[in-house]
């Protein structure tokens, strides 16, 4: 379709069905071949070992992207244990809860607002909508990564972390060090550094960044919005390297967080719609450029009915819940009785989450994984 627009041709798309997670599978296979060429890994003559790596089901569909060098030793010498299995169960439970209880409910609100394209939607409503999508994509993708890492632990594997509370970043450079870490690492190791990285002057570095971020956009989908989304981040990162980082450091930290979060939210507008018309309409609605009201009854209803969900997700994207759990654990495990009580409390919490998750799964048919299409 893109070729037809550019070249004024009438080529028919093949419409070939692609397997789930084809991009993750492809990048993993490529990393093995490239590392083999570089001499970083040995040739695998064991078909079972190599086949296990290529078809490692816990993370095959939506990451994290695991390089062969990450688990080469584990494929042959991993050791399962009760504690590792228990950690895997807990991690899987947290990830499943993120997906079903938070991401799905946030997605329902965003879809409701996005379907009102062309109508007069209030500024409040569309801001709630994009905030919901911002939370949805994080809890959806990080939830799946948690489940993949948890399943890996159950089988004795230790996969690399894929998220590190990216929405608490002070700039976009930091954000991309903490969001989809395995993808950023892959592009840095196999594209950015081989192109010269930052070793050949500023002009070459800018070129390298634009190439990497154009490819990052294309990796997410064969649509112009993904290309624009990738270049959007590429331009911001270039500006940060030239002067923005130094400027940001001079302003209060709260504004650094706010500006970064705002820029990320705007990127999700581009990411979430395939049509330029839809993107344009949403941006117009966000900034009241199409004559829409600032506040209306729908917006107030959405805010009131989803206030608790928004509050939970706002805390959930920070390290606050983890720090609270660590504090409670350190306080209770000082004694044997406290240790038993904490383990029991943790088990009850996991069982409660499972019951709630199952109830939501039974009563709802809305369970898409956003990154399954990539």
**Residues labelled as active-site residues:** 220
3-class DSSP state for residue 164? coil
What single-letter DSSP state applies at residue 40?
S
Dihedral sign computed on CA atoms, order 185, 190, 195, 196: positive
DSSP labels, 209-251: HHHHHHHHHHHH-SSHHHHHHHHHHHHHHHHIIIIIHHHHTTS
88 burial via Cβ count (<10 Å: 0-12, 13-18, 19+) = buried
Counting every residue written for the chain, the total comes to 374
* Extended beta strands in the chain, E state: none
- Alpha helical stretches, state H, 115-241: 123-154, 172-178, 181-187, 193-195, 202-220, 224-239
Q: Both tokens of residue 264?
A: 């990320």
228 burial via Cβ count (<10 Å: 0-12, 13-18, 19+) = middle
Contact by Cβ (8 Å): 268, 137: yes
Residue 300: alpha-carbon gap to chain centroid:
29
CA distance 276 to 298: 26
Q: Own/partner pairs for 361-369, CB < 8 Å, 24+ apart?
A: 361/100, 364/104, 366/104, 366/107, 366/108, 367/99, 367/100, 367/104, 368/107, 369/61, 369/62, 369/99, 369/140, 369/144
């Amino acid at each position: 379709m893109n070729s037809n627009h550019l070249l004024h041709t009438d080529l028919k798309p093949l419409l070939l069905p692609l397997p789930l997670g084809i991009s993750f599978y492809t990048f993993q296979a490529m990393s093995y071949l490239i590392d083999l060429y570089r001499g970083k890994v040995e040739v695998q003559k064991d078909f079972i070992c190599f086949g296990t790596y290529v078809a490692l089901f816990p993370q095959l569909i939506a990451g994290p992207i695991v390089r062969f060098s990450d688990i080469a030793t584990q494929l042959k010498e991993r050791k399962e244990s009760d504690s590792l299995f228990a950690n895997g169960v807990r991690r899987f439970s947290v990830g499943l809860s993120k997906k079903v209880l938070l991401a799905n409910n946030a997605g329902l609100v965003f879809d409701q607002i996005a379907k009102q394209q062309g109508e007069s939607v209030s500024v409040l409503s569309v801001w709630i909508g994009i905030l919901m999508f911002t939370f949805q994509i994080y809890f959806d993708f990080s939830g799946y990564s948690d489940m993949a890492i948890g399943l890996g632990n159950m089988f004795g594997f230790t996969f690399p972390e894929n998220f590190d509370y990216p929405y608490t970043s002070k700039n976009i450079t930091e954000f991309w060090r903490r969001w989809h870490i395995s993808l950023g690492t892959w592009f840095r190791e196999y594209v950015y550094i081989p192109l010269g990285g930052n070793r050949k002057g500023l002009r070459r570095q800018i070129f390298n960044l634009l190439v990497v971020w154009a490819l990052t956009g294309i990796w997410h989908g064969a649509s112009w919005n993904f290309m624009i989304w990738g270049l959007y981040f590429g331009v911001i990162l270039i500006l940060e390297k030239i002067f923005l980082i130094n400027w940001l450091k001079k302003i209060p930290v709260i504004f650094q967080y706010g500006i970064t979060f705002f820029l990320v939210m705007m990127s999700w507008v581009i990411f979430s719609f395939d049509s330029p018309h839809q993107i344009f309409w949403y941006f117009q609605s966000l900034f009241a450029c199409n004559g829409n009201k600032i506040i209306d009854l729908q917006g107030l209803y959405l805010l009131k009915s989803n206030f608790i969900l928004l509050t939970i997700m706002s805390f959930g994207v920070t390290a606050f819940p983890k720090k609270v759990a660590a504090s409670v654990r350190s306080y209770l495990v000082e004694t044997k009785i406290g240790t038993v009580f904490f383990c029991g409390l943790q088990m009850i919490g996991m069982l409660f989450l499972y019951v709630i998750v199952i109830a939501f799964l039974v009563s709802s048919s809305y369970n898409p994984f956003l990154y399954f299409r990539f």
